[in-house]
Amino acid sequence: MNDMTPITRIQTSKELERCPFPIPYGWFMIEESAKLAPGEIKNVEAFDQEWVMFRGETGKVGVTDPFCPHLGAHLGHGGTVQGDNIRCPFHFWEYDTSGWCKNIPYSKVMPPLARKKPILRALPVEERYGSIFVWYHPDAIEPLWAIPDVPEFEDADFVTLPRGSWDIGTAIQEIGE
Give residue-wise pLDDT tens across range 23-75. 889 999 999 999 999 999 999 999 989 999 999 999 999 999 999 999 999 99
Distances in Å between the Cα of 143 and the Cα atoms of 50, 56, 60, 121 are 20, 22, 18, 15
Q: Which architecture, in CATH terms, is 24-148?
A: 3-layer Sandwich (2.102)
pLDDT of 11 over the 70 cut: no
Q: How many CB atoms lie within 10 A of CB 176?
A: 3
pLDDT of 163 over the 50 cut: yes
Q: Does 21 or 41 have the greater pLDDT score?
A: 41
Q: Which of 70, 90, 69 is nearest to 80 (CA)?
A: 90
| pLDDT number for residue 1 | 46
Distances in Å between the Cα of 72 and the Cα atoms of 25, 36, 75, 122, 146 are 27, 24, 9, 15, 33
> Which DSSP letter does residue 36 get?
S
List the domain boundaries for the chain: 24-148
pLDDT average, residue stretch 107-122: 92
pLDDT average, residue stretch 68-92: 96
Q: Which of 128, 134, 129 is nearest to 64 (CA)?
A: 134
Q: Does 113 or 132 have the greater pLDDT score?
A: 132
Rounded-to-integer distance, Cα 132 and Cα 148, Å: 14
User: What share of the chain in percent tops pLDDT 90?
Assistant: 64
